[in-house]
Structure 1
């Protein structure tokens, strides 16, 4: 695999990436696929990483450490990644994709909000429909953008890959900033599209917490445990290379979507005054910004952050790779 004078990866010889099946042998006349190696790609099971056997491994990893399956904390905290133009492009894709995802999620969240009290089944109806919609939404968006940016579209996923040492600090910071900005834009686009007042967003499922019924401690515990469940399964089926030959990148996004749908449903019906776990701080940031109400919003960040740290400790205690 060649590296040009500016240090960027030449994609013309991307076939040297370990296990990367770029095309069938009969399609060698096609242009090279523009997909950079990234260990923290959701659904990739670390298949799309740079092989240590590559002649340019050290040159590439010195600039993009998370192109390889293993890198040190010193490499992760290097600020050189901020000078990588391709990383900024990938971050922009994360922001644009998050905007589109939150826009759709905001539409059906606003639509399902009144159903909490409009049917005899109470919160079961919006929780069920919301979980199905979340399953489809997350699965399709991962499929759409995983080859480009990794398909995170969620600060929680990005934080979790950072603490598990699959994403470097510059990527983590840029992704979260772009994801948050995209979500806020989406929230106001939903508000503008519906011509709705801010109060419309105060009870959207996944972000609604009634302070009269739910204490901060209860909300934090619910958010943390639901996020821990999501990330435990997501890492097991979509990021663990030991599943590469079992599920592989083709089925992993579906399994992640199913997991999020299950967590959405379980948390949405369990506690009166609690509209279900967010599991995506950017989503609630955008919708609560549109609603001009941030009560308990810190829980939507502290819960995922705690779960991400605990997941990172788990992968440190029981590492994926042998020493």
Structure 2
């Protein structure tokens, strides 16, 4: 036992810490800021990878609406919520599907599955305007098809139980709904920026991180908080798909909230992450 302390000291010197931890790890020496995406990139239109990414966004949003709205229908049609997965189950369906679908499509399209996420990343110059518009169109088409398939199972039940459409719940004002959508989308898009930050990957390479996990978990938590207020939109494509297929007047009365709120929240998250957290505009361009 006498030599044990000496062995520990020698071992510590022989195998030093390979990666600095904490503030010491935040230098830029091992990291180069990726260039901003061009505003217009005409060459994308002749690339198969561009259209493949759009198809991936369509299919992912289709599956997202199919599973999530079907879960909502299963809960609202039951006489007793105790016999269903309840609000917690709905939140898990939304969050779990985002986790799975981001994991599947991240390497193809980036796994946006949400016009608000696409808008936030566009503002941060992570993708071109051409790609952003294409993604949003494909996401909306996928959402419409996903909700349409759910309605096809039992039209009468779908129409009588709200069709999973987002509306501001009784007892809340339109301002309440707008605020809930802004903050909820801010949480989601800020999580997306943080989980996919290239500098984080370079700096914290000793800490394994699976980006889809915190993104899906953020969706789950936001749904737990805001389902009682707006049914939780935070995704304009999800709200549009359900509203078009349900197509009742009261679903359209509040629909603007589910576009304006998420886009404001996404813009705030982009500004906060890029300017406050990363301070990119203030960095020298050596």
The partner residue of 1:202 within 145, 158, 162 is: 162
Other-structure match for 1:38: none
Asked if structure 1 preserves the Cα contact closer than 8 Å seen for 2:181 and 2:261, the reply is: yes
The partner residue of 2:258 within 300, 303, 312 is: 300
Other-structure match for 1:143: 103
Asked if structure 2 preserves the Cα contact closer than 8 Å seen for 1:265 and 1:276, the reply is: no
Asked if structure 1 preserves the Cα contact closer than 8 Å seen for 2:163 and 2:246, the reply is: no
Asked if structure 2 preserves the Cα contact closer than 8 Å seen for 1:154 and 1:281, the reply is: yes
**How does 1:176-195 map onto structure 2 within 5 Å?**
176-195=136-155
TM-score if structure 1 supplies the norm length? Answer: 0.68
Task: Give 5+ residue unaligned stretches, structure 2.
Answer: 1-30
Structure 2 residue matching 1:196: 3-state secondary structure: helix
Other-structure match for 1:95: 58
Q: Distance in 2 between matches of 1:246 and 1:223?
A: 35
Q: Does 1:277 align with 2:235?
A: no
Measure how far apart 1:77 and its partner are: 3.6
> CA deviation digits over 1:108-138, x for unaligned, max 9?
01112346x8448xxxx73211122222211
Other-structure match for 2:19: none
The number of residues matched between the two structures is 246
Measure how far apart 1:176 and its partner are: 0.1
Q: Distance in 2 between matches of 1:305 and 1:201?
A: 28
The CA RMSD measured in Å over matched residues stands at: 2.8
Q: Judging by fraction of residues, say which structure has more helix.
A: 2
> CA deviation digits over 1:33-87, x for unaligned, max 9?
xxxxxxxxxxxxxxxxxx98xxxxxxxxxxxxxxx92226xx2244443343421
Other-structure match for 2:68: 105
Q: Distance in 1 between matches of 2:123 and 2:52?
A: 23
Q: Does 1:71 align with 2:30?
A: no
Q: Distance in 2 between matches of 1:171 and 1:85?
A: 13
Other-structure match for 1:288: 243
Other-structure match for 2:211: 252
The partner residue of 2:188 within 219, 227, 230 is: 230
